[in-house]
Amino acid sequence: MPNRHVMDVAYGRAHADKIIENGKLVNVLTGEIYPADVAIADGRVAAVGDVSAQKGPDTEIIDAEGRYLTPGLIDGHMHIECSKLSVTMLADMVARYGTTSVISGLDQVLVAAGIDGVKEFLAEAADSSVHVWWGAPAKAPYTIPESNVGYAFKAEDHKIAQEMPECVGLWETVQEMVEDGDEDVLAAMDIAEKNRLHAFGCAPLVDARRVAGYASSGVVLCHESYSPEEELEKMRNGIDIIIRESTAAPMLRENIKLVTEMGAPSDRVGFCTDDITSSDVLGRGHLDYVVRLAIECGVTPMQAIQMGSINTARMYKLDHKIGSIAPGRFADILFVDDLNDFRPARVMTAGRIVAENGKSVVAPVAPERTSVVADTFKLKEVDASRIKVEAEGSKAVVQAIVLSKDVAFRRPGAEIELDIVDGVVQPCIEKDAIMVAVAERYGKTDNLPVAFINGFGIKKGAIATSNSPDDNNVVVAGTNAADMALAINEVTRLGGGQVAVADGDVIGRLPLPVAGIVADIPAEEMAAAEQEMDRIARDELGSDLPSPFGQLLFLSITAIPEWAITDLGLIDCVKFVVTDPVISSN
């Protein structure tokens, strides 16, 4: 329904609540930059240009001081909960750097606390400094085969979810689910078509034949591409591209070549960060950093700003609400001194100044938590005797997961020979082959599969996390069963979190009590805590990874090639089957 007050102000029949004067408008709709004032009413832009007719005696005047006025930035695909911050705290952090809208599946709280958990997070977002738009997961969990979770989100749930006002379409429509004819996913896509909503893709390393099939299903965009060639193939088949850039997946320098070298149209490209940490954002920025990096790589400032705003808004059919400074849109406006060195000096969200010079104007306050998200752990105490891989003989060849040192989103495998003692396959620190296990935490089963992993470099002890998409069960890696069991049990005692253990003692803990995945603490406090946890894993347990917990967090994602582990067991992420970790023994 049109906002009558905004319309009256736009027509000059009423006075604006606020007017921004003395600014240079970056018009992402036309590619122009020119002097213009902005009239704001009820948190929305009412008029742009000469707004003298909108000025009244009670209108608040904001002096832009000659700065550029750009639209607020839009993160086209973010797993908010991977930050380990609650929505309130995440919004406070990214808004400082000019991000005013986020598209998120809220899939971690969904599988932990159901649709009621999602509604609680969305209500929280409405009172924050960032707009959160919900992409309802095509199905959840995304794991193939499907792991056990607190709430399995199916096609029937979409009849409710897609009617929610925040829902903008289907999130993480995984290519394999489409190709293999997953009935829940296809039914959800049918419902979306009736509701005139689009499906948003997840198709890493997909070949030309599969791109055609994927596009034919109705998927309109994809954030999962590993090369500009892959991006171009998708774009040629009608799929828009969202380029991902984060510390865990630094892909922009290579993938922006789609535009700078291959000549693809920049208006079909948007930006996202996917998964972030407080340490990363506080250290270099958020989407403002992505804009700066894109400019450094050869796109124009206008193109980079469009990729970070209007392009993404159009992909999600939100351009009538966000993505530009134009009448009717939310007054999400950044005040920028230099477009070539894009750093917002002031950030406005829905007509309210929320940040100045990288600092929040008002300290964030999290809401009271209900039992929906405060009580999600049903895991009984784990005995160390359960953590083992059994085999006959004296030697075993095991299929180990191998961590990629540079990119967390690739996990090749390796066959490693290990000793067998008393029928139990032994980890080997010298070969960097330690145990990894997943404890199902929702009380649906007593699943606790064990396998082996190479690449952590841990010399003793164990580390564990319950923030572990896509199912958020408890993932633990360690050199011995006793420390691994203690780590799992301490995570349970905390109601969720990350834990480090050595020689029978808990030596580090980061509580994540909200749905077992996030915490209501400021970004600075979270950054210090996550840096300390990684320091402990490195300095006291011996890991040689920059972020051991960052790697641990992603081990249950089966969409990442080539190996994963869920509460069902070791997963071959090419064949999508549960695999015995013991290949042979003698």
d(CA 192, CA 188): 6
The answer for 305, left when phi > 0, alpha when psi is -120 to 50, beta otherwise, is alpha
Residue 235, both tokens: 């774009």
Domain count, the chain: 3
Q: Is residue 75 located within the same domain as residue 15?
A: no
In a domain, 129, yes or no: yes
Q: Is residue 311 located within the same domain as residue 190?
A: yes
Q: Which amino acid is at 200?
A: F
Q: What is the pLDDT of residue 247?
A: 80
> What is this structure's pTM?
0.95
Q: Which of 472, 500, 516 is nearest to 377 (CA)?
A: 516
Residue 98, both tokens: 């000019």
Helix (H) or strand (E) holding 307: helix 301-307
Alpha helix ranges (H) inside 319-474: 371-374
d(CA 129, CA 127): 7
Q: Is residue 305 located within the same domain as residue 251?
A: yes
Beta-carbon neighbour count of residue 431 at 10 Å? 14
Q: What is the pLDDT of residue 248?
A: 78
In a domain, 346, yes or no: no
How close are the terminal C-alpha atoms of the chain, in Å? Answer: 73
Residue-number span of the structural domain to which 170 is assigned: 71-322
In a domain, 354, yes or no: no
d(CA 304, CA 309): 9
Report the DSSP pairing between strands 240-244 and 433-439: unpaired
DSSP of 220-275: EEES--SSHHHHHHHHHTT-EEEEEB-SSSB-HHHHTHHHHTT---GGGEEEE-BS
Q: Is residue 203 located within the same domain as residue 230?
A: yes
Q: What is the pLDDT of residue 407?
A: 61
The CATH number of whichever domain residue 305 belongs to comes to: 3.20.20.140
Beta-carbon neighbour count of residue 435 at 10 Å? 23
> Can you tell me which residue has the tokens 């742009």?
48
pLDDT per residue of the chain (586 residues) written in tens, 0 to 9: 789 999 999 999 999 999 999 999 999 999 999 999 999 999 999 999 999 999 999 999 999 999 999 999 999 999 999 999 999 999 999 999 999 999 999 999 999 999 999 999 999 999 999 999 999 999 999 999 999 999 999 999 999 999 999 999 999 998 989 999 999 999 999 999 999 999 999 988 888 889 999 999 999 999 999 899 999 999 999 999 999 998 878 999 999 999 999 999 999 999 999 999 999 999 899 999 999 999 999 999 999 999 999 999 999 999 999 999 999 999 999 999 999 999 999 999 999 999 999 999 999 999 999 999 999 999 999 999 999 999 999 999 999 999 987 665 678 899 999 999 999 999 999 999 999 999 999 999 999 999 999 999 999 999 999 999 999 999 999 999 999 999 999 999 999 999 999 999 999 999 999 999 999 999 999 999 999 999 999 999 999 999 999 999 999 999 888 999 999 999 999 999 999 999 999 9
Q: What is the pLDDT of residue 23?
A: 98
d(CA 215, CA 237): 6
Q: What is the pLDDT of residue 304?
A: 98
Q: Is residue 290 located within the same domain as residue 251?
A: yes
Report the DSSP pairing between strands 359-360 and 352-356: antiparallel
Q: Is residue 14 located within the same domain as residue 91?
A: no
In a domain, 329, yes or no: no
Report the DSSP pairing between strands 413-421 and 450-454: unpaired
d(CA 134, CA 126): 12
Three-state SS letters, 392-424: CCCEEEEEEEECCCCCCCCECEEEEEEEEECCE
DSSP state of 547: -
How far does Cα 82 stand from its chain's mean position? 6
Q: Is residue 20 located within the same domain as residue 82?
A: no
Q: What is the pLDDT of residue 408?
A: 56
Q: What is the pLDDT of residue 283?
A: 87
- Would you state the torsion angle of the CA atoms of residues 330, 334, 335, 340, taken in this order, to the nearest 10 degrees? -140
d(CA 264, CA 266): 6
In a domain, 436, yes or no: yes
Q: Is residue 191 located within the same domain as residue 311?
A: yes
Q: Is residue 51 located within the same domain as residue 151?
A: no
In angstroms and rounded to an integer, the radius of gyration of the C-alpha atoms of the chain is 24
In a domain, 357, yes or no: no
